[in-house]
Structure 1
């Protein structure tokens, strides 16, 4: 049955693609039973109704394969390789999501130099056993908008100098890039230069928990579409450039757990910022910039060397604030009027090892969400 057929409610699928999915089922050790019903009587011909499979309404070609479950511990995983051979049998696939599937590293020779994977726009292979051999394989994708390779075993040592992020090639429409929890090294400046092909499209960049070092380059200001910038838990040093304030759409900024020094100048941060994480650095100086962030919901400045005084004057505009951690800034004085009623409701407040007082603010009694 090579021609799609339509029933009243069920849609039969393309024969070759159904066979590919059944082969995929055979390559999985499906402990949680997420795909055990594939090919069962009653739905045997209707792969477009199988769990985790979506098809085009008109052509019945498989366009989405999503085996993501409520947690990676409950996902089926591959027991036979090479798994990527099967993907070539789904030429119209747009979304491929196989997180936590214990994938074996791709074998480049399996993949022809064709357009077999050109249709894929969303690729999630996070939390697998993938190594740097995936870099060459990634050249087969050129229309990605969302890419998540987090939680694998990637590093900066690659054959033929084809490494991160060079393997992204010409994915000029990439909006989301997550490559955290690896051993990626190198200078942040060089990494951002190699991402410049997506300078107008990139909205979410997460490179947390790697070995990236160097300074926070001013080149980041060229990525004007950024909404989330997460560079925490690396080896970044020097100071935060003022050009970060030139990112008009930025709502989440995470530079925590680095070696960043210097002060945070007033008015340097984007006014739309909702979450700011600067914990565990060597930042110093005053914290007056807080009062210029009216959209702020989460503020983490703990374990730095901030000093000066924070009063209700700095906080009265933060009506959306839900979490604040100022702890372990030994020279930071929290001086709040005893009769001030905060305009926000906090879920988290941490003020350990700060100078609090002389009076404990009575306004804390209005905080019912701790």
Structure 2
């Protein structure tokens, strides 16, 4: 009794003492906790079994960059709650977050995901993104993390089907599986069980068989953002699809790059009260743009580019007072640009910040009321049919950051744009602008990219904006010196393009101040003097064009420091000296090397064979002597071309807040099929060696037959002896072969008949003999291709070979040429004969005449037209694909 009274009397004291001890020794939680002491203070660490689970997870990974270096068993590393990427609950000590995503694409974790992670029963956040799990399948056990709210497995290299067990993640709010190129799902029914999901990104997952994707997304009442771009989706609307969607909160729909047709509108317009962002580019939308888009009252972004939309732009879009971005580029829209501007005057013009209508068929001139678009930051109307001069009101849009009006028919003087205080990008290329650049252009302190190429501008080049990084003035009539570069250019400049003008004088010697320069194009001017040694400071340069000027002297040895060069074109100058050996030892990234039409002499250095990436080598029209090196088979790109080198163009993305893209399209003049063509985006498909018009002697090395990717070979106008290489048939891609004006002897090898793509052949003016091998192709060439070989015979030459003469029966001869075959009395002339003859004639006619047609001069005109059209298509696509990649990565 006394004991009980004492107990109850001091009960609260005992409770306080116990609680105090517990607070001093450990934090409350489940499972055993390890502790450590620092002085007199006790510090809680993570739960031991969870720590062991994480260590086992680490053992299954290959950590090349020490990302998990803070994880370990050492005493100072025992607290897993302090490990990089691990977060524990403040109240329980359990691991609730595992975030080991790779910050850089070049520093991923590799390996496999250990099932030991199942010990993390309280995990709420799992991010393994941008790592490399080497084509393994997504572990099904991830579907067992019942408390998971956030799951990010983007760009992890997974393949196979998405586990249906993901449907068990009933607490999930965020799911990102994008950019796993080989993931697929025949059905997404499991998604319908994620009723709390707000963010869903299955981009790049193959959903071509998932016809239930619309029904499933309708069942997600809290879904706010939906990203399904490039999923092979088809807009199959099931009969059971309700008219009213339960996911009334859907604000962002990005279905870029699928096979959706205009029937998708029926599903889309059900979200008319919530949609703020609609992106449907690169689909199969056709017909007019529906007026119903004007009913999406919350719409801030509408992106319908790269479809087949037709007709005008609906007036209803003018009702969207919240619209910030309108991108209808690259469709077949028609109408007058002034009418469209009037349509948007109902309120949209006050909110619109980005307007892109490029790549359509809009006509007319920019209206004066363009200045009412007071919030406009980006105006892109390139590649339409706009004409007339630019209105003065355009200069009143002080908010503009980017203007692209290229590839139109805009005339008049260069506009006065003094009010463009915020302008960073101005592209007026390929128009009909005249006059001179205004002096005020140098005051544009924000301007970084100026492209006025392919106009009729003239006069001297004036000082330009101090922060410019791209300056393209090519294909105009600018004249005078470029000595101003030393004073005007800033150290951040990356692109200088002045080609096809009338510039003169010497090059300034101040290139050491342009160390960021990527491309320099001064071709086709009247520049003179020596190439300055300071070019050696252009260590980041990838392309250097000095063709068709009047430069003299030797190539400066300092150029060997420009190790990133992929293009070096100094053709058609007056350069002299030996071909430098350092080209082969230092400029090993070269893909295109042109020394054509200069005064280089002596032999071809053997070091040239170290150019493993070379695809176009032009040493023609010099004074080069000696033999052709036998090591040409070291040109690896021509032996077995690397698939990654398909063109020389590269995209430079300017790292600023506006994320503009600068597309530099490499170009080269190549002597091709007897004519000179300028190649751009197709340049990487040309494998060419031209050493013609020199003083080379000796035999053609058999090693040249190893260059299976060679498309054009020109060794003409030398003093080569010996035979045509016997293995010439191994040059399977060869389209043009010129060995004329040498001293080659012997017969034409029969294997030449296996060159199925051969379209141009010139073997004239040699000492070849014997019969021209018989093939439909070889006989289709003009006789001039074989002329000057006195001992050659056979078609198409007029002289027949011995033994080829045929003697006709006199009785047949007397009937006359038109009556050799008179009927069926000869027995073998029957119906089958006529059928066979007809088929043979058809095939022969198609083969011979078709080949002749494709080989004649009009082919060059057609080819040039197609090449130019292809270049334009490439630039347009490159710009938009760069934007696409940026969207995908953002």
Bucket of the pairwise TM-score, normalised by the shorter protein: 0.7 to 0.9
Displacement after TM superposition at 1:331 (Å): 4.3
Displacement after TM superposition at 1:223 (Å): 1.9
* Equivalent in the alignment of 2:251: 121
Displacement after TM superposition at 1:353 (Å): 0.7
User: CA separation of 1:338/1:300 partners in 2, compared to 1, >3 Å: closer, same or farther?
Assistant: closer
User: CA separation of 1:132/1:214 partners in 2, compared to 1, >3 Å: closer, same or farther?
Assistant: farther
In the TM superposition, 1:274-313 aligns within 5 A as: 274-288=424-438, 289-311=440-462
Query: Quick check: 1:148 aligned with 2:262?
Result: no
After superposition, give the CA deviation of every residue in 1:261-311 in whole Å (9 maximum; x if it has no partner). 222222355211111111111122221152232101111111111122223
Displacement after TM superposition at 1:206 (Å): 2.1
Query: Quick check: 1:326 aligned with 2:477?
Result: no
- State the SS of the aligned residue for 2:364: strand
User: CA separation of 1:182/1:129 partners in 2, compared to 1, >3 Å: closer, same or farther?
Assistant: farther
User: CA separation of 1:161/1:75 partners in 2, compared to 1, >3 Å: closer, same or farther?
Assistant: closer
* Equivalent in the alignment of 1:10: 124
Displacement after TM superposition at 1:192 (Å): 3.2
User: CA separation of 1:236/1:268 partners in 2, compared to 1, >3 Å: closer, same or farther?
Assistant: farther
RMSD (Å), alpha carbons: 3.7
After superposition, give the CA deviation of every residue in 1:204-232 in whole Å (9 maximum; x if it has no partner). 22222222222222343222112212221
User: CA separation of 1:10/1:277 partners in 2, compared to 1, >3 Å: closer, same or farther?
Assistant: same
- State the SS of the aligned residue for 2:374: coil
User: CA separation of 1:127/1:260 partners in 2, compared to 1, >3 Å: closer, same or farther?
Assistant: farther
* Equivalent in the alignment of 1:180: 329
Name which of 339, 352, 364 aligns with 1:190.
339
Aligned counterparts of 1:87 and 1:354: Cα–Cα separation in 2: 58
Displacement after TM superposition at 1:121 (Å): 3.1
Aligned counterparts of 1:329 and 1:344: Cα–Cα separation in 2: 25
* Equivalent in the alignment of 1:271: 421
Aligned counterparts of 2:289 and 2:317: Cα–Cα separation in 1: 14
Displacement after TM superposition at 1:51 (Å): 2.5
Which structure has the larger Rg? 2
* Equivalent in the alignment of 1:28: none
* Equivalent in the alignment of 2:165: 40
Name which of 496, 502, 522 aligns with 1:355.
502
Aligned counterparts of 1:300 and 1:273: Cα–Cα separation in 2: 13
After superposition, give the CA deviation of every residue in 1:142-164 in whole Å (9 maximum; x if it has no partner). 54443333223345546899974
CA contact (8 A) 1:297 1:320 kept: yes
CA contact (8 A) 1:342 1:363 kept: no
Larger deviation, residues 119-128 vs 39-48: 39-48
More helix by share: 2
Aligned counterparts of 1:248 and 1:343: Cα–Cα separation in 2: 25
TM, length-normalised to structure 1: 0.75
Aligned counterparts of 2:383 and 2:369: Cα–Cα separation in 1: 20
Query: Quick check: 1:208 aligned with 2:358?
Result: yes
Larger deviation, residues 107-116 vs 85-94: 107-116
CA contact (8 A) 2:195 2:222 kept: no
Displacement after TM superposition at 1:358 (Å): 2.3
Higher relative contact order (CA 8 A, sep 6+): 1
Name which of 91, 95, 100 aligns with 2:230.
100
User: CA separation of 1:285/1:101 partners in 2, compared to 1, >3 Å: closer, same or farther?
Assistant: farther
* Equivalent in the alignment of 2:198: 63
CA contact (8 A) 1:203 1:226 kept: yes
CA contact (8 A) 2:461 2:478 kept: no
Query: Quick check: 1:89 aligned with 2:219?
Result: yes
Displacement after TM superposition at 1:334 (Å): 5.6
- State the SS of the aligned residue for 2:487: coil
Aligned counterparts of 1:137 and 1:334: Cα–Cα separation in 2: 62
Displacement after TM superposition at 1:357 (Å): 2.9
Displacement after TM superposition at 1:328 (Å): 0.4
Query: Quick check: 1:260 aligned with 2:410?
Result: yes
Larger deviation, residues 192-201 vs 245-254: 192-201
CA contact (8 A) 1:287 1:306 kept: yes
Equivalences, count: 332
CA contact (8 A) 1:244 1:268 kept: no
In the TM superposition, 1:124-143 aligns within 5 A as: 124-135=254-265, 138-140=268-270, 141-143=272-274
* Equivalent in the alignment of 1:345: 492
* Equivalent in the alignment of 1:369: 516
Larger deviation, residues 97-106 vs 225-234: 97-106
User: CA separation of 1:42/1:90 partners in 2, compared to 1, >3 Å: closer, same or farther?
Assistant: closer
* Equivalent in the alignment of 1:249: 399
Query: Quick check: 1:51 aligned with 2:176?
Result: yes
Aligned counterparts of 2:177 and 2:359: Cα–Cα separation in 1: 31
